[in-house]
Amino acid sequence: MLGVLTRRLGELTLPRAATSSPSRFWTVYGIAWTAYGAGLAAILIASGRPPGRAVFVGLSFVVTAALAGIGVIALCERVPWPPQNRTRFVVIQLASGAAFTVASVVGTLGLLSIGTSLLSGVPALMIFPGPMLLLHVGMALGLYMVLALLVYTIQLAVRVREEQSRVATAEGLRARAELQVLCAQLNPHFLFNTLHSVLALTRKDTGAAETSLQQFAELLRYTLRVNQNRHDVVLLREEWSFVQDYLALEKLRLGDRLTLESDLEDDALQCSVPAFLLQPLVENSIRHAIAPDETGGRLRISARLTGADTLVIDVADDGPGTTLDAVESASGVGLRIVRERLASYYGDRGRLDITTQPGAGFVASLRLFADVPTFEPTERLLP
Amino acid sequence: MTLRIVVVEDEPLARETLSEFIEKVRWMSPVGEAKNGRTAIELIDKVQPDLVFLDVRLPGLSGLEVLKRIHHEPAIVFTTAYDDYAVNAFEFEAIDYLLKPFGYDRFVETLSRVRRRLTSADSIPPVRERVERALGDQVLRRLFLEKDNHLVPVSADSIFRIEAQGDYVQVHTGGDTYLVHLTLNKFETRLDPERFRRVHRSHVVNLDHVSSIQPFDSRRLHITLRDGAEVVTSRAGAQRIQGELLK
């Protein structure tokens, strides 16, 4: 019997704060009721009852109320605050309050009757005289309210704590994702080699060194600005100017191995696009087609509007090319970043097509919904 | 002694920088430049330089592949902008490298060290062999560590203990101490796990050189090595040692 009871207690839905240490919760619960019972007995003694009798009454009441209280806790857990249906909540609470009151009064009287019968050897049925009954009902109702209030307070506190830790986790994940993007944008090889080239320029050609450092700073500023502001929509003109700075620095390293042709039409440059849409494609070509080849290669970048509302951007190189399978299984983050940006910004109104074959170069072609902003999105980027 | 130098570097500005630096140093004379791996191999075998500055990343063949394919055996200083894997491994065999960006001072400092080493009487295995061993993934049996500008062969068995010192580790053999620019974590990956045990966040000990192990408190151990050095383990470290004792 006791085993069954303990098991049932174990299965009971505890207030969520208690689930981490159920034994502690029940200890506190027991201590609180013992204290309450002791207080009740003390009052009875003070009002002239014989001590034995007073303790007995206190004990009967506390045991009944504590057991009924477990039911209250379980119920409040199942009927969480805030309620989905207010009327239902009130009805349930009223009914359960009444049940708790009846259970504790009847239980107390039952225990008292049994105790008295056992002590006197004569069957006895105890009842509360009118004023005492009223006092007990009032006490039970008060206790019910305290119990329910306590359970709901714990519920809310736990929910707030969980929400806080969820927010913190999400924040951490986002920060890590941002850092990943940032690291991908600032490829360390590019970073340190560029610094090495600029260091060489400081001796050779101070003017060129200054220009390069400014371009380098612009590059960093754009990257940081886009990462800091959550609005990472820019005009294609801005992205293109970023790519031009990037290409100027790559040119510093690669010298005449990098040949560039660009044709970006004015109305195409007025479209807004997600930042870092073009640069990863350009970097991809440099990394796989131009830099590994001792004679270098040619990079062609074009952008134009076609039809009513389609923006077409092509980034093509005449490098060694590859197979589409190899592109799909590549570990690099460049194309992945572009695809993710396309998906989140355009949904199904933008796509990236790759045309390549071993020995036949590599063409990345973006076909996007031409989003011509009615106001300057530059303003959105300002802090 | 004048060193005859070849520069292998694909980036024009970096190549120019190196040439400029080389011309400034009295005891160096440039004898050739290569922009890619293939021409580098031909050039090195033809002019037989004393020293080669070799970029790790080159179009076509990488610097490491160039090293594998040349017949001549010059001293090598690798130049690299960022190559975590190779640079870390280079430390195991005290292989010289210059991290970009580098200016004239760092260049001269590295070069002076290389020259002192070249003119000393050390007989050390060719760089190629040491690079291959450093980049391999097997357990280290022997490594070359630097002491007073000399490369000293150190057998892994003769290492008593290794202690972390920030980004460096101190390698203690019976009598000598070497400073190596590697983290303890990286160092530990190349040690024989049968012999070497991580007993603490900053200590690895060679079990073959332990003279006694005593309890330090209820959860930690006090290890004495044969050279008298004492190490108190962490709790996790104590468990790793106790696992050994129960075998």
Domain CATH number, residue B46: 3.40.50.2300
Q: Residue A179 falls within a domain, yes or no?
A: no
Subunit contact B14:A204, Cβ cutoff 8 A: no
Q: Residue A181 falls within a domain, yes or no?
A: no
Give the H/E segment covering residue B129.
helix B127-135
Q: Which residues of A touch B16 (CB under 8 A)?
A: 200, 204
Question: Can you read off the two tokens belonging to residue A277?
Answer: 């849409």
Q: How many CB pairs under 8 A join A and B?
A: 62
Same domain, yes or no, for A190 and A165?
A: no
Subunit contact B100:A195, Cβ cutoff 8 A: yes
Q: Which of residues 31-50 of B touch A (CB under 8 A)?
A: 35-36, 38
**A186 in B contact zone (CB under 8 Å):** no
Number of domains making up chain A: 2
Residue A183 or residue B132, greater confidence:
B132
Same domain, yes or no, for A204 and A344?
A: yes
**A211 in B contact zone (CB under 8 Å):** no
Q: Residue A78 falls within a domain, yes or no?
A: yes
Same domain, yes or no, for A376 and A305?
A: yes
Chosen domain end from B132, B159, B194: B132
Query: Which residue of chain B comes nearest to A253, CA vs CA?
Result: B11
The low-confidence residues of chain A, meaning pLDDT below 50, are 1-13, 17, 377, 379-383
Q: Is A91 exposed, middle or buried (0-12, 13-18, 19+ CB in 10 A)?
A: exposed
**A9 in B contact zone (CB under 8 Å):** no
Q: Residue A198 falls within a domain, yes or no?
A: yes
- What pLDDT score was predicted for residue A335? 80
Same domain, yes or no, for A25 and A162?
A: yes
Same domain, yes or no, for A71 and A190?
A: no
CA distances for A313 relative to A222, A265, A316, A373, angstroms: 21, 10, 10, 18
Query: Which residue of chain B comes nearest to A256, CA vs CA?
Result: B12
**A205 in B contact zone (CB under 8 Å):** no
Same domain, yes or no, for B32 and B100?
A: yes
Same domain, yes or no, for A157 and A215?
A: no
CA distance B134 to B131: 5
Considering only the beta carbons, identify the residue of A196, A204, A291 that sits closest to B81. Answer: A196
- What pLDDT score was predicted for residue A198? 92
Q: pLDDT digits over A329-382, tens only? A: 776 667 877 887 788 778 788 889 999 989 889 999 999 998 887 655 454 444
Same domain, yes or no, for B113 and B187?
A: no
Chosen domain end from B102, B117, B132: B132
Q: Residue A315 falls within a domain, yes or no?
A: yes
Q: Which residues of A touch B10 (CB under 8 A)?
A: 294
Same domain, yes or no, for A138 and A76?
A: yes
Residue B231 or residue A177, greater confidence:
B231
Min Cα separation B36/chain A (Å): 6
- Domain of residue A66 covers 2-174
Same domain, yes or no, for B52 and B160?
A: no
Q: What is the mean pLDDT of residues B219-225?
A: 92
Q: Which residues of B touch A191 (CB under 8 A)?
A: 81-82
Same domain, yes or no, for A200 and A114?
A: no
Same domain, yes or no, for B128 and B173?
A: no
- What pLDDT score was predicted for residue A19? 53
- Domain of residue B183 covers 137-246
Same domain, yes or no, for A266 and A142?
A: no
Same domain, yes or no, for B149 and B119?
A: no
Same domain, yes or no, for B23 and B124?
A: yes
Predicted structure pTM score = 0.65
- By residue count, chain A amounts to 383
Same domain, yes or no, for B7 and B88?
A: yes
Residue B230 or residue B128, greater confidence:
B230
CATH code (residue A306): 3.30.565.10
Chosen domain end from A119, A147, A174: A174
Q: Which of the 8 DSSP states describes residue B79?
A: E
User: Among residues B90, B134, B105, B114, which one has the least CA distance to residue B28?
Assistant: B114
- Contact between A333 and A184 under an 8 Å Cβ cutoff? The reply is yes
Same domain, yes or no, for B120 and B161?
A: no
Chosen domain end from A174, A209, A244: A174
Q: Which residues of B touch A192 (CB under 8 A)?
A: 81-82, 99-101
Contacts of A328 (CB under 8 A, 6+ apart): none
**B81 in A contact zone (CB under 8 Å):** yes
Q: Which residues of A touch B81 (CB under 8 A)?
A: 188-189, 191-193, 196
Same domain, yes or no, for A264 and A298?
A: yes
Same domain, yes or no, for B10 and B116?
A: yes
**A209 in B contact zone (CB under 8 Å):** no
Average pLDDT of chain B?
89
Among the ranges given (A22-26, A52-56, B88-92, B226-230), the one the predictor scored with the smallest mean pLDDT: A22-26
Q: Which residues of A touch B57 (CB under 8 A)?
A: 189
Number of domains making up chain B: 2
**A195 in B contact zone (CB under 8 Å):** yes
Q: If DSSP codes are grouped into helix, strand and coil, which group holds residue B160?
A: strand
Give the dihedral of Cα atoms A126, A132, A135, A139; nearest 10 deg: -20
Subunit contact A188:B81, Cβ cutoff 8 A: yes
Q: Residue A61 falls within a domain, yes or no?
A: yes
**B11 in A contact zone (CB under 8 Å):** yes
Report the complex ipTM: 0.77
CA distance B247 to B225: 21
Chosen domain end from B85, B107, B132: B132
Among the ranges given (A326-340, B42-56, B60-74, B159-173), the one the predictor scored with the smallest mean pLDDT: A326-340
Considering only the beta carbons, identify the residue of B13, B36, B81 that sits closest to A192. Answer: B81
Same domain, yes or no, for B157 and B212?
A: yes
**A208 in B contact zone (CB under 8 Å):** no
Same domain, yes or no, for B66 and B14?
A: yes
CA distance B172 to B180: 11
Same domain, yes or no, for A361 and A298?
A: yes
Same domain, yes or no, for B147 and B232?
A: yes
CATH code (residue B207): 2.40.50.1020
- Contact between B96 and B111 under an 8 Å Cβ cutoff? The reply is no
Same domain, yes or no, for A210 and A162?
A: no
Chosen domain end from A129, A144, A174: A174
